[in-house]
Amino acid sequence: MRVAPLTDDDRKWVKERTELLFGGEFVVSGTEVHDPDKLPGFIATEGPERVGLVTYDIRGEDCEVVTLDALCQFMGVGTMLLEKVEETARRSGCTRLWTITTNDNLDAQRFFQKRGFVISKVRLGGMTKIRLLKPNVPRIGYYGIPVRDEIELEKSLSPAD
Ligand SMILES: CC(C)(COP(=O)(O)OP(=O)(O)OC[C@H]1O[C@@H](n2cnc3c(N)ncnc32)[C@H](O)[C@@H]1OP(=O)(O)O)[C@@H](O)C(=O)NCCC(=O)NCCS
């Protein structure tokens, strides 16, 4: 598997994946609206196939993982992509890596917590506000769980960690 920075040739695909995974071309995190296809990121490929992508946004000492998308799950794609972002964030002097997921996304909650992230905020009912902007966000999510809450996770990138 190869991981390389996203290029302009990948942007259309990033847009398509965002639409599929997040119910729209943009992603809302807290008060921010992101266009993942305009963000920096990395793409994972296996031979000629694109198998995953991650986008991130660095603001001062914080680096947000905006989207992380493994096309084939549980094969190490997500781990490789997240490691690449962490490396980039550390090199850019970031002290905090953070992301948002939803209450139904148990795979993501497991994935991030097993990789050093802790739950730092829970916005109960947060998805109601998101749906005003993105009516296509499904009401029922992974494992048939109602999609209601936003869960923020973070990892300290202090040199000692
Ligand atoms: C959450 C997500 C990004 C994780 O990516 P992934 O590629 O499935 O993750 P990995 O394969 O790297 O790791 C997952 C598990 O597979 C295991 N694994 C890794 N490589 C493996 C391999 N070669 N063979 C078998 N298992 C393997 C890991 O041990 C890990 O298990 P653990 O969490 O118990 O430690 C992915 O499930 C996904 O894209 N979900 C949909 C989008 C999403 O929810 N994104 C996050 C919010 S933006």
Q: Mean pLDDT across the chain, nearest whole number?
A: 94
Residue 28 CA to its chain's centroid (Å)? 11
Report the SS3 class of residue 33. Answer: strand
Residue nearest to atom 22 of ligand 1 (CA): 75
CATH number at residue 76: 3.40.630.30
More confident of the two residues 134 and 66: 66
Residue 51 falls within a domain, yes or no? yes
Residue 61 falls within a domain, yes or no? yes
Residue 9 falls within a domain, yes or no? yes
Residue 8 falls within a domain, yes or no? yes
* Number of structural domains in the chain: 1
Helices (H), 5-160: 11-22, 77-91, 106-113, 126-133
Residue 148 falls within a domain, yes or no? yes
Q: Which residues line ligand 1 (CB under 6 A)?
A: 21, 67-70, 73-79, 101, 105, 107-108, 110-111, 114
Residue nearest to atom 14 of ligand 1 (CA): 74
Residue 152 falls within a domain, yes or no? yes
Per-residue tokens: 40: 């920096």
Is 75 in contact with 88 (CB distance < 8 Å)? no
Domain of residue 110 covers 2-156
pLDDT tens for each residue of 35-50: 999 999 999 999 999 9
